[in-house]
Amino acid sequence: MGQNLIAIEGIAKRYPAKGGGETTVFEDLWLRVRRGEFVCVIGHSGCGKTTVLNILAGLDAPSAGTVIVDGREIAGPALDRAVIFQGHALLPWKSVLGNVAYAVASRWRKAPKAEIEARARAAIAKVGLAGSENKRPAELSGGMKQRVGIARALAIEPKILLMDEPFSALDALTRGTLQEEARRICRETGQTVYMITHDVDEAIYLADKIVLMTNGPGARIAEIVENPLPADRRQGAIHHDPNYYALRNHLIDFLVSRSKTFRDNPPPGYDPRHPPLVRLGGPAPEPRLPRAGEAERHLEAAAG
Amino acid sequence: MSLAVRLQALAVSALILAAFLALWQIGVSGTGPTQQMDPEYAKLMGATATEGKSAMPGPLDVGRTIWGHLKDPFYDKGPNDKGIGIQLAWSILRVGIGYLAAVLVAIPIGFLIGMSPLMSRALNPYIQLLKPVSPLAWMPLALYTIKDSGISAIFVIFICSLWPMLINTAFGVASVRREWLNVARTLEVGPLRRAFTIILPAAAPTILTGMRISIGIAWLVIVAAEMLVGGTGIGYFVWNQWNNLSIVDVITSIVAIGLVGMVLDQLLAQAQKLVTFPE
Ligand SMILES: Nc1ncnc2c1ncn2[C@@H]1O[C@H](COP(=O)(O)OP(=O)(O)OP(=O)(O)O)[C@@H](O)[C@H]1O
Ligand SMILES: [Mg+2]
């Protein structure tokens, strides 16, 4: 408690299996996120990342365990947790302004129209879309749609921002720009963020802490890696940092090999209630460059 | 479509019409064999039998009749002789009332079915059973219980308009994208506001499709219904002209029915355009 804004306490998700019985997607998941922290979750496809995010959002309920946000157990979705959906989920019959204003009007129900519009316009300007207020989502590019999604989420000033692979459908250039803006905005406002990604570099650039999930079924949080890169790191220059390759190799190594074996052979002393916090850095460890194409192959597999 | 293609299409349409009218005129202008008969009987049979003139009127005859109707569409010379405009107005009025009543019933119930899997299951057997029944099969029951032929016709319109709207509304509401509903949920939007701000706009194109199908069916059915109940309306007019052996007026009515049906359909097509959103 105390500084912890989010406390995930022993949650599990089970689905009835086809031939009777149950499959456990994940179980005994514990995680604490501090106020103002930017957390990225990495894990193989199907390990349950989206399910955890939906539980945090209140859109889904865990089969066991609880989630505590700001000292209170959550019961369903609420305005203190904004979600940026993977498929942007804009309302196509509303304009950009209409989409953002809808969220603002839901947050401040009694606010006068002018104030709602002003807040919505401010949020749209913050993501660099001033001038496009009256466009329909269908008239926007993928990157612009995702910006509207970010504006809509930020406009309600949530305690927690939940993002499910927000940039994965974008081209590399747009993704880079949006990552930069997202990081700037979140740092300026001290936003607490819980984000899922498949992109190791994205996690390294954005996250304060990177949560590694093992493969399912029965997935766990294997460890939490602290980002050793300086807070004023710049997009496109992170790979010059002396700690960059150590961190990247650690993450890739986990995804490529350890994520499969971790569940059955946990390291001695592993306690799911307190997943080990890994600090890299200091004297640079033995550089282990991934074999050619290894990272890319892995990322493709993970994205599939 | 480019302007050139449109102009070409227009030209082809005009050509088809001209060819049709010409063939029609040629077809009816020949004289058939005449029979010897008693002069009294011949008088009764008219020119068709005595002079071998074709029973089918030609396009010129129809044109003249249409012109006559257009000059005075709303005359009223007693119960069996009213202008075609009055008759059409009666039919449109009946369709309008029956159709609006169906909208008021179908859309709320469709919402209920679409939002509640329980109600969907509970009501489905009735819908499946009643939907395939020809609306005219309700007519005797309606006449017996309502005891008013005009209102019975309206009831039949109501019944036949109901199903497409009900089914489309239920389908449209049930297939609103999960992610849009999740947006509303994360914003703590209440059920009533959600129904009006998310579900209604999302389902509107599907609902309008149902409404468009319904108006088409209603306009088909009103003619048959009015033939049965008689009194007024374009259906009655057609039947009455058939009894008068006035084929010219029958053909004129067919054209008029087609035109009104087209206008009704286009009105709903425009409404549909208004609520459709690009994705
Ligand atoms: N309704 C359901 N019934 C049964 N199993 C389900 C259901 N929903 C999800 N699952 C299972 O739960 C697991 C986790 O799904 P989830 O979407 O959370 O994965 P993910 O980690 O987000 O994957 P990705 O990286 O591909 O997005 C999957 O293996 C999926 O098959
Ligand atoms: Mg997912």
For chain A, give the percent of residues with pLDDT over 70.
91
Q: Model pTM?
A: 0.83
Whole-number percent of chain B with pLDDT over 90: 64
Taking the centre of ligand 1 as the mean of its atom positions, its distance from the CA of residue A48, in whole angstroms, is: 5
Task: List, in sequence order, every beta strand (DSSP E) within B125-192.
Answer: none
Mean pLDDT of B106-113: 95
pLDDT value for A269: 85
Q: What is the pLDDT of residue B42?
A: 62
B278, two tokens: 């690009």
Rounded Cα–Cα distance for residues B222 and B236 (Å) = 10
Structure tokens at B64: 């003249």
Compute the mean pLDDT over every residue in chain B, rounded to the nearest whole number: 88
Instruction: Tell me the domains of chain B and their CATH numbers.
Output: 61-275 (1.10.3720.10)
pLDDT the model gives residue A108? 95
Tens digits of per-residue pLDDT, A155-214?
999 999 999 999 888 888 888 988 998 999 999 999 999 999 999 999 999 999 999 999
A251-298 pLDDT per residue, tens: 999 999 998 888 888 888 888 898 999 988 654 444 444 454 454 455
Q: Which residues of B touch A57 (CB under 8 A)?
A: 186
Residue to probe by mutation, ligand 1, list A23, A27, A50, A194, most atoms within 8 Å of CB: A50
pLDDT confidence of residue A286: 47
B189 touches chain A (CB under 8 A): yes
* Residue B194 CA, distance from chain mean position: 34
Contacts of A93 in chain B (CB under 8 A): 201-202, 275, 277
Q: How many CA atoms lie within 13 A of B174 on its CB side?
A: 17
CB contact B183 to A (< 8 Å): yes
Q: What is the pLDDT of residue B85?
A: 87
* Phi and psi, residue B123, nearest 5°: -90, -15
Average pLDDT over every residue of A97-116: 96
All structural domains of chain A with their residue ranges: 4-80+158-283
CB contact under 8 A, A91 and B182: no
Mutate to test the interface with B, among A74, A83, A93 (most CBs of B within 10 A): A93
Q: Is B186 on the interface with A (CB under 8 A)?
A: yes
| pLDDT value for B200 | 95
Higher pLDDT, B47 or B209: B209
CATH of region A4-80+158-283: 3.40.50.300
Rg (chain B; Cα; Å): 25
What atom of ligand 1 comes closest to residue A198's alpha carbon? Answer: 25
- Residue with the bigger pLDDT between B193 and B41: it is B193
Beta strands in B38-162 (DSSP E): none
Q: pLDDT tens across B240-275, in order?
A: 888 888 888 888 899 999 999 999 999 999 999 999
Helix (H, G, I), strand (E, B) or coil at A1: coil
Altogether, the residues listed in chain B come to a count of: 279
Q: What is the mean pLDDT of residues A10-23?
A: 91
With 0-12 CB in 10 A as exposed, 13-18 as middle and 19+ as buried, what is B136? middle
The tens digit of pLDDT for each residue in B179-223 reads: 999 999 999 999 999 999 999 999 999 999 999 999 999 999 999
